[in-house]
Amino acid sequence: MRIIWRFRAKRERADEFRSVYGSGGAWARLFARSPEYQGTELLQDVSDPVQFVVIDSWKSRDGFERFRREFASEYEALDQECLELTEEEIFIGDFRAES
Encode the chain (99 residues) as per-residue pLDDT tens digits: 999 999 999 999 999 999 999 999 999 999 999 999 999 999 999 999 999 999 999 999 999 999 999 999 999 999 999 999 999 999 999 999 887
- Which residue from 92, 64, 76 is spatially nearest to 5, judged by alpha carbons? 92
CB of 77 within 8 A of CB of 41? no
Q: Where are the domains of the chain?
A: 2-95
Q: Is 25 helix (H, G, I), strand (E, B) or coil?
A: coil
CATH topology classification for 2-95: Alpha-Beta Plaits (3.30.70)
